[in-house]
Amino acid sequence: MAPKGLTFLAVLICVSALSLSPSVAGEGQNNGLVMNFYKESCPQAEDIITEQVKLLYKRHKNTAFSWLRNIFHDCAVQSCDASLLLDSTRRSLSEKETDRSFGLRNFRYIETIKEALERECPGVVSCADILVLSARDGIVSLGGPHIPLKTGRRDGRRSRADVVEQFLPDHNESISAVLDKFGAMGIDTPGVVALLGAHSVGRTHCVKLVHRLYPEIDPALNPDHVPHILKKCPDAIPDPKAVQYVRNDRGTPMILDNNYYRNILDSKGLLIVDHQLANDKRTKPYVKKMAKSQDYFFKEFSRAITLLSENNPLTGTKGEVRKQCNVANKHHDQDP
């Protein structure tokens, strides 16, 4: 008979191994996503996406902003399922054609990436994974951190345009509503503060901020910053055909950094949510901490992007792998 001590040790080892087993602990927590999902079916998949993102960035710098916005607009609306990329049909409006998607662009370059993958591995890599991984690589192009992200998502078959307003946080909502909507995805307060740091890059269209300028200037805006904004947005009702905008960060507009937090603490945030973030007692401590430490910002940003990218994905046999990212495969119009 084995000594009691050895028997206990053997049981402890078995229990420990069981608790670490992916089939027991990992699958439920990971929602079916894994690192390097395509290592057998398409070993070059992630390298191809990275290469394409780099090539596109060299030709069109604004593609990196698009990749970053895509992950937010797709994954925040119920699921990371590339429903954002679907074109409108006779029966359904596309998410990308709703008011909330104003300014989103460069969808054609997602197709460029998809075509490169189809040449290597036809029918294998989902548009949902392309959307997420292009955001990962776009963040790097903008000087941000490399964030290891899991793959294995499948594509939805329907647009979710009818629920965009319900799930997608809005820059004119109260900070409580914004925190609640992100909280429903498992993203806590420091994570929300970090995600909004994406406003460090890109631009804000005048139509989104003229209500802070006309008929009266919002007193919360830094008066030294107002002349620049008025110069960029001279009309109370911007011409919808004119591309009128203000850079989110005049100092480092093409770099994802913590300058955003210093700007909003100095009342230079363009959107209402920027102002609220810097002044609400729940978020201000994290704003100040990120303004002081880019490492802390990157750490929280990486964690929040990971959570966002894993929001309720379709995996296994759910959904499909689209042949083209803007169109669901045939014969599935009525399927969930």
Residues annotated as catalytic are 73
Q: Which residue has the tokens 């996503």?
A: 33
192 annotated to bind ligand? no
234 annotated to bind ligand? no
239 annotated to bind ligand? no
266 annotated to bind ligand? no
Bond into 215 cis (ω within 30): yes
Residue 93, helix vs strand vs coil: coil
171 annotated to bind ligand? no
74 annotated to bind ligand? yes
189 annotated to bind ligand? no
Give the 3-state DSSP-derived string for 142-155, with helices as H, strands as E and coil as C.
Answer: CCCCCCCCCECCEE
Which residue type occupies 257? D
87 annotated to bind ligand? no
Q: Cβ(128)–Cβ(155) under 8 Å?
A: yes
Helix H segments across 121-239? 127-141, 164-167, 175-183, 189-195, 226-232
Q: What is the distance between the alpha carbons of residues 275 and 184, in angstroms, rounded to a whole number?
A: 23
204, two tokens: 């804000």
Residue 81, helix vs strand vs coil: coil
Residues at the annotated binding site for heme b?
Answer: 199
Residues at the annotated binding site?
Answer: 74, 77, 81, 83, 95, 169, 199, 249, 252, 257
Residues at the annotated binding site for substrate?
Answer: 169
Residues at the annotated binding site for Ca(2+)?
Answer: 74, 77, 81, 83, 95, 249, 252, 257
